[in-house]
């Protein structure tokens, strides 16, 4: 399996299946772990980083016995390839942009990734399409146990798993659910939802995590508290709140359909029209318009398009993906032209290309 193979697929979290998948894009859990006998990354020498990678080699081999994996040395990658992995949410921007020995191991179906030498020595993440945190937890818990058979984690009876940042100490677990909430944004109720989430100490982030803009009306809801609660309780807290937000989004969609039918239909149709005809288009505008089209499909206003095709376009029109797909490095101007061309091809009225995976 090679890195370039990934371009032909769209990855687990964009399959567009699973419970509530019209609104819930994906469920994701990550665990932060550190090896007991090395300093945390901020104090690790080049040699320490190499040793950490070596010590984890056996654990990774163990995982490879159960499924096909791709292990990538991030330091050897070019800028476009690193950005490509960030866009696919397989690595963090931190891992892409830092220096020194570091790696990522990716499962064939892109439903798990394991970063070594990120903020912590080990960052495991598991993704599932739709709302399915229980499967994600069952899986990541097993992978964590598997890794631990070969290494000793930094662990304290009182504080749990010790992490480089005290915000992750305890379970080292971040549970997040990515939601598509265009109607709550349109009806300006989204801020209210956020405020109530913060009150129960849940965090809201954009598509690409901390500090990123809420591009395409995608929001990730996740736990902030990692200490003093069992993993299952943390998962339950997120699981309990997601249906409530889904309910609000559906109410907002109903309201738009009932009270603003023409405006809504107009907005969706115009978005679709621009995407099918533009000659040059920015990434931001693309995300914004695709979001309207996605909601239009879910509300039955567009009938000749399927959700997985749109999900894939959200990713394939990102800068590094466009460059990988066209096989050349492109500057911003050329990317905007290539993006428009790509969208016209894949949204043409002759009917969309079936996703190559199907």
- Grouping H, G, I as helix, E, B as strand and the rest as coil, residue 91 is coil
Binding span for other proteins by CB under 8 A among 73-81, 161-169, 285-293, 323-331: 161-169
Q: How far is the CB of 189 from other proteins (least distance, A)?
A: 16
Among 27, 125, 129, 171, binds other proteins (CB under 8 A): 171
CA angle in degrees (0–180, nearest 5) for 289-353-272: 20
Q: Which of residues 265-294 bind other proteins (CB under 8 A)?
A: none
Q: Does 29 bind other proteins (CB under 8 A)?
A: no
231 sits near other proteins (criterion: CB under 8 A): yes
Tell me, by CB under 8 A, how many residues bind other proteins: 55
Q: Is the CB of 156 or the CB of 266 nearer to other proteins?
A: 156
> Rounded to an integer, what distance in angstroms lies between the CA atom of residue 160 and that of residue 165?
13
Per-residue tokens: 245: 């937000």
Tokens of 354: 């079936």
Please calculate the CA angle 340-343-345 and round it to the nearest 5 degrees: 110
Residues 191-230 that bind other proteins (CB under 8 A): 194-195, 198, 201, 203, 205, 210-211, 224-230
Of the candidate residues 45, 61, 73, 348, the single one contacting other proteins (CB under 8 A): 45
- Asked if 86 touches other proteins (CB under 8 A), the answer is no
Contact 340, 276 (CB under 8 A): no
By CB under 8 A, is residue 133 in contact with other proteins? Answer: no
CB 152 to other proteins: min, Å = 6
Instruction: Identify which range of 106-114, 149-157, 301-309, 319-327 contacts other proteins by CB under 8 A.
Output: 149-157
Residue 12 and residue 127 in contact, taking contact as beta carbons nearer than 8 Å: yes
Query: Is the Cβ of residue 169 or residue 337 nearer to other proteins in the bound state?
Result: 169
- Number of Cβ atoms within 10 Å of the Cβ of 194: 17
Q: Tell me the C-alpha to C-alpha distance, in Å, between residue 285 and each of 288, 338, 347.
A: 5, 14, 16
Single out the segment in contact with other proteins by CB under 8 A; choices: 36-44, 241-249, 279-287, 311-319: 36-44
Place of tokens 């309207």: 292
Q: Which is nearer to other proteins, 203 or 269 (CB)?
A: 203
Helix (H) or strand (E) holding 218: strand 218-223
Among 50, 64, 155, 241, binds other proteins (CB under 8 A): 155
Query: Is residue 169 at the binding interface for other proteins, with CB under 8 A as the rule?
Result: yes
* Among residues 86, 173, 246, 287, the one that binds other proteins under rule CB under 8 A: 173
- Hey, how many other C-beta atoms are within 10 angstroms of the C-beta on 206? 17
The four Cα atoms 181, 184, 185, 191 give a dihedral, to 10 degrees, of: -110
Q: Which residues are registered as beta bridge partners of 26?
A: 129, 178
Binding segment toward other proteins, per CB under 8 A, in 61-69, 76-84, 145-153, 315-323: 145-153
> Rounded distance, CA 259 to CA 88, Å?
37
What does the block give as tokens for 80? 């476009």
User: What's the CA gap between 138 and 141, in Å, rounded?
Assistant: 5
Query: How far apart, in whole angstroms, are the C-alpha atoms of residue 114 and residue 332?
Result: 31
239 binds other proteins (CB under 8 A): no
Instruction: Assess 146 for contact with other proteins (CB under 8 A).
Output: no
Of the pair 77, 225, the CB lying nearest other proteins is at 225
What strands, in cross-sheet order, belong to the sheet with 202-205? Answer: 69-73, 103-107, 112-116, 122-129, 24-33, 173-180, 218-223, 202-205
Regarding 152 and contact with other proteins (CB under 8 A), the answer is yes
Q: Does 46 bind other proteins (CB under 8 A)?
A: no
For position 159 contacting other proteins by CB under 8 A, the verdict is yes
Residue 193 Cβ, how far from other proteins at the closest point, in Å? 12
Burial (Cβ within 10 Å: 0-12, 13-18, ≥19) of residue 333: exposed
List residues near other proteins by CB under 8 A: 34, 36-43, 45, 48, 119, 141, 144-145, 148-162, 164-167, 169-171, 173, 194-195, 198, 201, 203, 205, 210-211, 224-231, 233
């Amino acid at each position: 399996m090679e890195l370039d193979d990934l371009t032909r697929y769209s990855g687990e979290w964009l399959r567009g299946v699973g419970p509530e998948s019209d609104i819930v894009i994906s469920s994701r859990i990550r665990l932060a772990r550190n090896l007991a006998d090395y300093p945390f990354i901020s104090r690790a020498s080049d040699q320490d980083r190499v040793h950490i990678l070596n010590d984890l080699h056996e654990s990774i081999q163990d995982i490879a016995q159960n499924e096909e994996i791709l292990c990538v040395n991030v330091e050897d990658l070019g800028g476009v390839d690193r950005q490509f992995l960030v866009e696919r949410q397989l690595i963090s921007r931190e891992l892409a942009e830092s220096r020194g020995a570091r790696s990522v191991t990716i499962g064939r179906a892109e439903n798990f990734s394991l970063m070594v030498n990120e903020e912590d020595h080990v960052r495991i993440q598991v993704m599932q399409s739709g709302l399915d945190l229980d499967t994600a937890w069952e899986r990541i818990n097993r992978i964590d146990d598997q890794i631990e058979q070969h290494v000793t984690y930094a662990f304290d009876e009182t504080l749990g798993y010790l992490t480089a940042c005290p915000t992750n100490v305890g379970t080292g677990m971040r549970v997040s659910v990515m939601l598509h909430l265009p109607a709550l944004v349109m009806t300006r109720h989204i801020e209210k939802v956020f405020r109530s989430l913060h009150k129960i100490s849940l965090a809201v982030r954009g598509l690409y995590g901390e500090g990123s803009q809420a591009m395409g009306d995608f929001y990730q809801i996740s736990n902030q508290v990692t200490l003093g609660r069992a993993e299952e309780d943390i998962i339950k807290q997120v699981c309990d709140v997601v249906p409530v937000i889904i309910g609000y989004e559906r109410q907002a969609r109903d309201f738009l359909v009932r009270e603003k039918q023409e405006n809504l239909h107009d907005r969706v149709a115009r978005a679709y029209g621009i995407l099918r005809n533009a000659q040059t288009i920015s990434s931001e505008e693309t995300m914004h318009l695709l979001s309207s089209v996605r909601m239009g499909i879910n509300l039955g206003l567009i009938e000749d398009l399927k959700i997985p095709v749109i999900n894939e376009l959200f990713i394939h029109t990102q800068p590094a993906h466009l460059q990988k797909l066209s096989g050349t490095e492109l500057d911003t101007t050329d990317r905007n032209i290539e993006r428009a061309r790509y969208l016209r091809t894949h949204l043409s009225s002759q009917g969309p290309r079936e996703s190559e995976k199907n």
